[in-house]
Structures are given as structure tokens and as C-alpha cells.
Structure 1
């Protein structure tokens, strides 16, 4: 779907993109094809698309042999997507869905052009709910990569980097300049993939634990959260260490103690 097609669609259905929903629609056809290729779809796959918008990706995801579910917060677009592509559509804010509301455990692949203002809550929810998935293909704000990819011992390292690392292997694939979208945003997006590996099942309790550990970065982790000093020192850390020094895998060990 290119820019002219998106403009034509908005005119035909009388739709004006709303800033409150972060509605910027991908309209570079070569990039769309690359994103679909990254999904590595297989016969019988159940695919989740969050925020399909006008269907830039949806039309290529809704292939024979693929069971597609789209979650769209804008009821106008949800109706359009359902009518245009014939896939299952849930008209809702994804972050408000319970796992059972959308059969979270059934998806093999999830793809989303994530609205910038909802990046962290959507990524957290995907990592919690889609433990059985094979792959996540996400478009995120390029500036956020420092937080997503951060390593222990850096200022950017925090809960989101811990969760992404534990979910699986992450690859930063390619950028999407603002002019690849309509309307044109003021920032650049980047396509990343998270391929499930490691077998760590992350739940809400673990996320709360990690967030508590980072709640005051200047304090010792033992002052921020219920962390056993003996367990901490047993992993080779000083009892005065801060959360930013602890590896993702060691957060798992500290949580289960």
C-alpha cells in the first residue's frame, strides 16, 4: 500500500488520522514487503496484528492458511479492517485486554507498528501474554532503542531492556524515515524482531519485581525491593550493588529465591 492509496482510502471513507491514537500509516511498499518477510509466516500460523490502521500490513498478512486477528483501538478503522480483509477484529485498546479476551497463548507471530506513546506498555504486555509465540516483529521509535537494547552497567539499562533480553534474541533490522508514513511523523521508526529463545516465562509479578529494583537507581537494590543479600552475593555481586549492575538472567534467579 503506497501513499496515494492511503490518501485515496482516507478520502473514500471520510477518515482523518487522529494524533491521540498516534495514527501514522506506513506507505513504503518495499519496507512493507521486508516486514512481512521478517514475520517468516508458515502454513497454519495464528498471527496477531496490533494497530492495523488502514491495513498497510494487514492485506499481506491475511493470506490463505494464515489465521489473522487484528486489534484496533479506533472503532472506525476496526470496522473498515473487518469489512475489507475479512479477518477477526477486536475493537479495543490492546493494553486493556485480558489474555483470555484474545486467546493470547495461541499466536505464533505478532506484528505491530507501535504508537510511540504506548510503546512500553504494549511491549510489556506482549512479552507477558505471548510466551508461546515464535516471533515479535515491531516498529518502534528509533530514539527508544537505547532503552530497549541497553546492557547492564549503562544509564539506559532498565526494566524494558531486561524483559526484551529474557524474551529472546533481538535484532535491529532497518529504519523507517518519517516520509515512509502518512501523515509524516517528526521522528524515525526502526523495525526490530524478537525471536523467542531461552524459555523464560515472564509474568506480571516478575515485572513488578524488576520495576521495584529500578525504582530508585541511586539506591542499593536491596533497599528498593525484597532481594536476599545472600542470594545477591551468591551470584557474585556486592551487597551494595544497584539494579543497573544485575544481568537479566540474574534478575530471574533473584526473583525465584
Structure 2
């Protein structure tokens, strides 16, 4: 198999040429900022810690900078691209720069916010596991967290995630309980795995140069999916952080039905009612959701 060092990666001149050919003018709406630095691509691929047998899902491949690097490190890449012009051009770019790996690429023209496991399984001729085992992407910054959480929920076969996001979003995803950046993204990401910051990315490696700093977030997905009711747990998380400066007894009042009900739920869950959501782990939120389920069931049987 080729390596990112043996393939001609896209440079700044090639990025501009392709953009002109396709009449692509990067837009903030689609979060289009194209990486034009080969060393950055190699660094991202190395940080992804891919296996040669991995089937990588890439979101927003754009002009193909990262795609080329991923194809050299994994068995196959499925790229989901919302821009039809970019989706149609990507196979040609790969054939030009990595002809011996072109067979390992499949492109899905679609929205990563709605793509399903069934959509990806329809590409049954990939030379890799049928379902993606890794997610590696330069995510569109305006929808990074929703896309990430959707794909983590949709793709049960993922074992590894490495995404480039806005630096402050990276801080939130990797934050631990009690920290100033800890919030809804932190807890929901922790539902799926262990997140950590995996490095910073210079603004200068993008075209156009973004107005924000970027960073990598790595997530080691839990090998065994949780069996809790995810919808119930996420509802409790959302309620707690909707009023994050309030105590849980107050913040969860509407969610539980009243402050008294919230107090009872929290006590049953073994959580201090005077605590705030920003101090709780995902396991404690799961205990809260389970306690409410048990109490609701008890009320129905009375």
C-alpha cells in the first residue's frame, strides 16, 4: 500500500487550479476551507492512527487534500460531499494523484447530517469492512458538533474518530466535568467514547484563511455500546445545561415535572440536588435518566 509520503498531495497552486476549473468559490455556508499543506495532511493521517484494514468515512472531502492521504493509510475511504461539483470531481483527482488507490474510493453525494448506515452499506463493493470503522474529517465548522454526534449515533462500527474543528469547539468536546468549557457537547461525546485534543492546526494551511483557530479532536469509541436509553439521557443533559448556572433541582424541574419531582429523581440517582450540571459525568446523567424512568413507572402502576 502507498503512504502519504509517496503520493503527490495537493498544494496551494493545485487547490486554486481545481477551484477555478470547477468555478468553486468557498462559502461560509458550507464551511469550505481547503487544506493546501501536505505536511498538515500527513500529520492528520498519522494522528488518526489508522489500521491498514480500516474503512474510513470522510465528511466534506472538498477538493481531495485529506482524501489522498487517507487512501494511502487505510483499505478504503467513503467520502460524503454535499457539493455536487466537488463530489463529481473527486474520483478524477484521486485517479490523477493516486491511480493505484482509485479503486478504494467511493463518493456519496449527500448531507452528512442525514446520511445513514444503510446509505453507506449500499456501497458493498468496497475492499474493506462493509461498515466504516473510522471517521476522519475536516468538519464544516458551522455544523461540526451536530454532524459528529449524528454519525456517532448512526455508525455503531466506528472505533476511532479524528476530526478537525474550530479550536473552541475542540475544547468543549474534550472538556472534563467542572471545567469552564464543559457542556452539552462534552457530555454527549463522552457517551460514545473518550475524547481528547490531538493538536492545533495553523490558519495558514487553509484556503481561504479562516477567521478562527482550528484543532484536532480524537475520540476512542467505547468497544461496547452503552445499553442506557440514549434519548432519555440526552434529554436530561439538555435540560440541565439549558440553565447551567441553576442547581439541578431547579434546572431539571420542567423536565421532571416539578422541583419536588426533580429532587426525588436526583436523590434516587445518588446525585446532590444542589449540584450543577457542569459538574456531572455522563454516567451520573444516565443514573438521573434511569431514576426518572423508574419513578415514572411507579406512578403509572399506582
Work out whether residues 173 and 193 of structure 1, in 8 Å CA contact, stay in contact via their aligned partners in 2. Answer: yes
- Residue 54 (structure 2) pairs with residue 17 (structure 1): no
- The answer as to whether partners of 1:228 and 1:254 remain within 8 angstroms in 2 is no
Note the alpha carbon deviations across 1:19-62, whole angstroms, 9 max, x for none. Answer: 32111101121111011112222233211000000001111222
Q: Which of residues 112, 130, 142 is equivalent to 2:167?
A: 142
Q: Check conservation: 1:10, 1:16, Cα contact below 8 A.
A: yes
Cα offset for 1:248? 1.5
Aligned counterparts of 1:145 and 1:41: Cα–Cα separation in 2: 21
Alignment of 1:224-239 (within 5 A): 224-226=254-256, 229-239=263-273
Alignment match, 2:89: 80
Report the equivalent of 2:299: none
Equivalent of 2:253, from 216, 219, 223? 223
**Residue 114 of structure 2: aligned partner:** 96
Question: Conserved in 1, the CA contact under 8 Å of 2:56 and 2:74?
Answer: no
Greater CA deviation, 191-200 or 68-77?
191-200
1:192 aligns with 2:192: no
Secondary structure in 1 matching 2:15: helix
Structure 2 unaligned residues grouped into runs of 5+: 1-9, 95-101, 123-129, 292-302
What aligned pairs does 1:1-257 form with structure 2 within 5 A after superposition?
A: 1-63=10-72, 66-85=75-94, 86=102, 87-103=105-121, 106-197=131-222, 199-201=224-226, 203-219=230-246, 220-226=250-256, 229-257=263-291
**Is the CA contact (8 Å cut-off) linking 2:197 and 2:216 kept in structure 1?**
yes
Q: Is the 8 A contact 2:152 2:158 kept in 1?
A: no
What per-residue deviation string (whole Å, max 9, x for no partner) do you get for residues 192-218 of structure 1?
Answer: 211113634384453333212322224
Offset, 1:176: 1.1
| In 1, Cα distance between equivalents of 2:224 and 2:216 | 24
Per mean C-alpha deviation after superposition, the further-off stretch among 52-61 and 15-24 is 15-24
In structure 2, relative to structure 1, the CA distance for the partners of 1:81 and 1:216 (3 Å cut) is same
TM, length-normalised to structure 2 = 0.76
Secondary structure, counterpart of 2:150 in structure 1: helix
Residue ranges of structure 1 left out of the alignment (5+ in a row): none
- Indicate the SS of the match to 1:95: coil
Shift of 1:14: 3.3
Q: Which moved more, 1:232-241 or 1:79-88?
A: 232-241
**What is the aligned length?**
257
The answer to whether the Cα contact below 8 Å between 1:214 and 1:224 also exists between their aligned partners in 2 is no
The answer as to whether partners of 1:139 and 1:190 remain within 8 angstroms in 2 is: yes
- CA distance in 2 between partners of 1:84 and 1:248 (Å): 43
TM-score normalised by the chain length of structure 1: 0.88
Residues 150-159 or 15-24, more deviating? 150-159
CA distance in 1, matches of 2:47, 2:278: 32
